[in-house]
Amino acid sequence: MLCSEPVCSDRNSLRIVLPLSPNLRGSLLMAVSMASFSVNDAIAKFLTVQMHFSQVMMLRGLFASVMIGALAVHQGALRPLRLLFVPSVALRISGEIGGSALFLVAVSALPLANVTAIVQSLPLVMTCGAVLILGEPVGWRRWLAIAAGFIGVLIIVRPGAEGFSQFTLVALLSVLFYATRDLVTKRIPAEIPTLFVTFLTAVAVTLAGAVFTLLHGDWTALSFYSLALLALAAVMTLIGFQCVILALRVGDVSSVAPMRYSQMLYAMLLGYLVFGDVPDAMMVLGASVIVLSGIYTFHRERVRDRLLATNSSNAPPDGL
């Protein structure tokens, strides 16, 4: 098929500038996304030292709502507000509110790397949820990987140990809310734009933060520096979400998804540089177990998809 000279020239130039495979480009975009989310988390932790977590939640959400709303208007993604009452949309928003609030509470009291490591168990929890809620088949290999991942969580949490903190339970509870959010996303009708759901979520989180702030009754006067950090956190969130979407559209999910675990490295680095947190051996061991089990789970899912593609039967092969 022939194409015009300018178009062909542009494509050749693109190949010269970006001589990368789609999966590699997707992986790089996912890495940028995780870096953006890590910066956002570090800013949130820094600000919770100065103000109540609910105030951070509200103001960060306000900045994010404005930017996401403007993007939704630009792309014509706005829809009637009654879609907020679609059960899957409402449940997703509830999961985001609960997860965000609990994450901020946990990260205000624990090292950033510890909370991030616990949240890295999210794919494992989602796999369990997919079995229990969506009825997806999971073979014994992935069950072993999931069990290993939860052992990694226990190594970090260390229940009964002298260094145990109840805030680690708060972090674990946030994972359950986030897993609910992500699992129910599969049930959202396709005709509802993703950007509109994101906008509704940002607005709902902002309003929830305002309610928590009113209930707490404590308000900290804002400096220009604090406002600038909140705006930067919102920008990082927006960049993170957009890069995730681009990464999953450019590359294969099974190839791109493991790069989510790069957030663990960013969290350790930011925790050390900003807060002076040095992860202990047990935390590093637990995080390593979680990451390795998660990567293996992604690998088995990729193998399963390949086998299912060549298997005419509706039942998955044994041992997946």
In this predicted structure, what is the pLDDT of residue 318? 38
Average pLDDT of the chain? Answer: 84
In this predicted structure, what is the pLDDT of residue 177? 95
- Non-local (6+) Cβ contacts of 69 within 8 A are 199, 202, 203
Planar angle of CA 247, 1, 252, nearest 5 degrees? 15
In this predicted structure, what is the pLDDT of residue 185? 82
Instruction: Decide: residue 313, CB within 10 A, 0-12 exposed, 13-18 middle, 19+ buried.
Output: exposed
With cut-offs at 50, 70 and 90, classify the pLDDT of residue 65. very high
Top-confidence residue, 92 or 297: 92
Cβ–Cβ contacts within 10 Å for residue 76, how many? 10
Rounded-to-integer distance, Cα 41 and Cα 35, Å: 10
Mean pLDDT across 169-192: 89
Cβ–Cβ contacts within 10 Å for residue 220, how many? 13
**First-residue to last-residue Cα distance in the chain:** 42
| pLDDT per residue as tens digits for the range 204-226 | 999 999 999 999 888 899 999 99
Asked whether the predicted pLDDT for residue 18 surpasses 60, the reply is: no
- What letter does residue 5 receive in the DSSP assignment? H
Contact 300, 141 (CB under 8 A): yes
Rounded-to-integer distance, Cα 194 and Cα 65, Å: 14
Please give the model's pTM, rounded to 2 decimal places: 0.82
In this predicted structure, what is the pLDDT of residue 258? 80
Find tokens 């930017």 and name the residue.
Answer: 67
Contact 124, 150 (CB under 8 A): yes
* Closest to 241 in 3D by CA, of 165, 295, 185: 185
Asked whether the predicted pLDDT for residue 203 surpasses 60, the reply is: yes
Asked whether the predicted pLDDT for residue 175 surpasses 80, the reply is: yes
Asked whether the predicted pLDDT for residue 86 surpasses 60, the reply is: yes
In this predicted structure, what is the pLDDT of residue 129? 81
| pLDDT per residue as tens digits for the range 225-272 | 999 999 999 999 889 888 887 887 777 766 777 888 899 999 999 999
Phi and psi at 264, nearest 5°, equal -65, -40
In this predicted structure, what is the pLDDT of residue 6? 45
In this predicted structure, what is the pLDDT of residue 37? 93
Mean pLDDT across 24-49: 92
Rounded-to-integer distance, Cα 304 and Cα 138, Å: 9
Cβ–Cβ contacts within 10 Å for residue 49, how many? 8
With cut-offs at 50, 70 and 90, classify the pLDDT of residue 186. confident
40 Rama sector, left if φ>0, alpha if ψ -120 to 50, beta otherwise: alpha
With cut-offs at 50, 70 and 90, classify the pLDDT of residue 158. confident
Top-confidence residue, 154 or 313: 154
| pLDDT per residue as tens digits for the range 119-147 | 988 888 888 887 777 677 777 787 888 88
With cut-offs at 50, 70 and 90, classify the pLDDT of residue 13. very low
Contact 60, 230 (CB under 8 A): yes
With cut-offs at 50, 70 and 90, classify the pLDDT of residue 309. low
Maximum C-alpha span of the chain: 71
Top-confidence residue, 313 or 291: 291
Cβ–Cβ contacts within 10 Å for residue 223, how many? 10
In this predicted structure, what is the pLDDT of residue 4? 45
